[in-house]
Structure 1
Amino acid sequence: MAVGGLFLSAFLQMLFDRLMSREVLNFARREGVISKLEKWKKTLLMIQAVFSDAEEKQLTDKAVKMWLDDLQDLAYDVEDILDEFATEALARKLKVEHHQSSSSNSKVQNLIIPACFTSLSPSSVKFNVGMGSKIRSISSRFEEICKQKVELGLQMNAGGVSIAGWQRPTSTCLPTEPAVFGRDEDKAKILEMVLRDEPTDANFSLIPIVGMAGVGKTTLARVAFDDKAVEMFNLRSWVCVSDDFDILRITKSILESITFSPNSLKDLNQIQVQLREAVAGKRFLIVLDDVWSKNYSLWNTLKSPFRAGASGSKILVTTCSTDVALTVGTAEYYNLKLLSDDDCWSVFVKHAFEKRDVGLHRHMGSIRKKVVQKCRGLPLAAETLGGLLRCKQSDDEWDEILNSKIWYLSEESNILPVLRLSYHHLPSHLKRCFAYCAIFPKDYEFEEMESIFQPSSNNSFKFIMHDLVNDLAQWISGETSFRLENEMVTDNKSRRFRRARHSSYTCGFYDGKSKFEVFHEVEHLRTFLPVLSYEIRLLTRYITDVVLSNLLPKFTKLRVLSLKKYYITELPHSIGDLKHLRYINLSETMIRCLPESICSLCNLQFLILRGCYRLKKLPSNLRNLINLRHLVVTYVDLIREMPLGIKELKCLQMLSNFIVGMVTESRLKDLKDFKLLRGELCISRLDYVTNLEDIRDHIN
């Protein structure tokens, strides 16, 4: 299956889950549209049944590719409608609760809900009419998709989605390299862990080696397994586990490698009994290479025969996942880092030139720079590039490969299968998060709280994506993400730009015209992320507020809005109409105040205001942001106090700074109501507190 197909498959599964959610079903019943949603659910099931066939046929049939593109557009639009259902239901609930809490009538009278808060209110009627039209349109598109499914001859696949096509070749314990570069220290540490004689309850211990795909975990395990020092173990076994964690297969493979004879048994119990007898009283070293399963029960079953082994036995596990390392039952694991630039270059030279003279090639300095930049410490990438270039003679051929994305050379490269297997094992919701990363330029430095990939070489407090991981994100996201860089939106890109759900841009002008204006063409944008240089931000400082006032109202589907480090002094009142917004980042802007309308964003989860040194106060009705999880207000010296009712933010998990008010210092006790807070909390304006002894009582 193509990688983009895995993204869409995960998306469809999440969509199906949303259709089955209690909040959506309850609202649909009240509004009389439950039958429509039930029909959508059945249609999705039929589509999922032919999805695997469509993924295979799209490679040779453009009509099928267009069908999948239309299906993805439809899936996004269905999610938008379900989101509107949930938002409207939440808004009505909030109105009822506000009315009941503010009413001064008796308890009996409070139970009477005014018509203005029900589906009979003018606003609700307007919502229902508009929603009815959207539902009819979606239903019609579902019917057309199903009709085309038949016309295209797509067949059901009873086995579901298959990933067998991407599994790595089975690894062996035999060394594939006469020399391994840059791993001497790693090898010494792994051997020390393997040879360490430590008491354990189970007579054996597990040593996970964790690292990103292609970093050389298997190579390191192989080097350790082949070292003379491990000949002290009575029994040694190497098994490639890979994606299919089949206990019967794995147990039989271990048994056969120990006994050096085939085994015809098909009963797990009998095989495990024989394995227990084979290892009884003996010191063993077993390598389980390329493990992905986090199923604790399966692990316990697999390990049970090894309890009969002699003390000091070891099981070495290689995995891309820290979760797997922790699941196997050990708190200690070895984290394998990337290679240095020099060692990465040595791997490339070994495979590209073998015994030929490196100096015979012209422009070797620029070649080294490109190789190091593209491979970024991944020995698998260096090996692949070297293997591709060793048979190329002309400079043009070298430039073509070095300037390409390695994915497009998939027939000759095993990097894509390795990395996309890592993607496959992400949970469905994280698959979508990863695809969203496609809008970030290479070398973009993330804050720790936003996303962690690998430490930046320029800033130890920042993180970046490996170039190949960035390429993978773009591959996966397809046309749903569009990064507008230093070029105009030409005709061949305009269709993709209009279909984009997530977009960023990295400059502000071309030919004296603001690139902001091209976003007027986008109908379904969900993520709006400027990534601009300081010079460009200064050039656009005088028009930004005006442009945003005209532009934001068009982004009715927006979920993520980041204007970090941008020259804006205010947000338009219309920000309150963007009901889907989950994330707003205004860090290091010139913002002076936030419109009260922002408090109507009941879906908002992140409000980041770090370094807004001109911001004077927070909105007074902040309590209405009932889904707010992160409120970051550091380096905002002009804010004098937290707004009333902040204690009602029951979902708050991160509050970077609690500002004690001069008049209302007693509100320090509000901190007791934040049951979900984690991480560091700064309390400012403590000079307003008259009795410091009270602080301990308020925050304990």
Structure 2
Amino acid sequence: MGKTTLAKLVFSDSRMQDFERMAWVHVSQKFNLLRIVKAVISQFEGTADGFDDLQSLYNQLEKISSGKKCLIVLDDLWESDIELLRKLKLMVNCGKERSMVRIIVTTRIEAIAQELSTVSPYKLRPLSDDDCWTVFKQIAFQWTNEEDLDVLEAIGRDIAMKCKGLPLAAHAVGSMLRNKNVDFWKAARDSNTWDQCSSHIDVLPSLRLSYEHMPSYLKPCFAYCAIFQKGSTIDKDKLIQQWMAPDFVKPSLPTLSPKAQAEEYLRELLATSLLQNSVSSMVTHEHAKDSHELSMHDLVHDLAQSVAGDEAFYLHAISQSSSPSDNCHHLVVVSYDKRLCKSLSVKVRSLHFRDCGGKQLPGDTFSLTKNLRILDLTGCVVRKLTDPTRQLAHLRYLDASLLCDKDFPMWITSLLKLHYLSIHGSTKISELPKSTGNLKDLAHLDLSCCGNLVHLPEFFFSTLQVSCY
């Protein structure tokens, strides 16, 4: 059992129901105290909007947690700077009655545990070969021919030993071998992959083996997940829509819709544990809506990055020392700078902006990206494009959440192939123009948290799925 799995069991245990406030935050390697505290407040209260500095966040956290029993899980903490750890400890242990706040931290670094702990840290060790075998057989032997059980058990025990005591590895390989014949099991046991590792990233052989034997239709969907930041939550519905936009999804039956087929792809990946239901989505409170969030283990994310190769690239404006290759299909731009327009290749199919802080993008930003299928502009401002019908002629997915202006951007109404549109959180927009009726292919419109929206064209409700909550 891994650190996160053990913390999940504690967090979900019925004996934890006495806690009135519960929060689960995946910290990961990119330590951001502001983000951590905002995540805790959001899960306690439903929103952290309007609090943009540590002091106001501290005051709000103290206010909503005081006098209540609180449980906070900080999962996968890597930051070893003593001063930052002490600030973290002070921020999350903020109740006036401090004995009522309980904090669980998972980390791979013993020095971090020693610095933060108020009790003796519990150090998890790798599973024994027998325990690893137990995990493996529970997954792999669900639908196996009884005639082959003895042979498969001998092979399976050999494979379990190769998993090096890691439950994630045992689960992934067990899922791959489920319902397969003896020859397939032997081939998996004797594969050279066990003795190899990626030339760029140290990927677990067991996980790479799972990918190698993954059905071909799942491979591009899994590799696409490399665009999400390590440790982040993934919106299930948005992921499905993004798989559909570049035609990753091929319905196996004429009567099966692409969305239904994509949901089946997702179920297959969940069954392997390469994708998992996010723990934070289990947190409920009176202000929360039903959530459908996914997560990816850091080791699995390493695999996704490895198999995506140079087709997926993170472009950092501040610290960038290299540029995406001509083969880049999926580009994530962090902290946008106008000079980065030159790095947007014509082959890019999906473009995602992160941490752009409301910057306005110039009208010629997409002058070179004529084959975009997916565009995520969350938090950016794009008031006018030079020639949207040419630049974004093939766009099918547009996330324009958190628009700052009161007027709906008219250039969006010229994107005739758009299938999915989100303006979530655009609180200043009061109506959508009639010209949105030009979007004949639009099937899903997310208007959630658009509190000032008072008018919609009548045809919307008969032609597409609208999310308003």
In the superposition, the TM-score normalised over structure 2's length comes to 0.46
**Structure number with bigger Rg:** 1
Q: When you count helix as a share of all residues, which structure comes out higher?
A: 1
TM-score (norm 1): 0.32
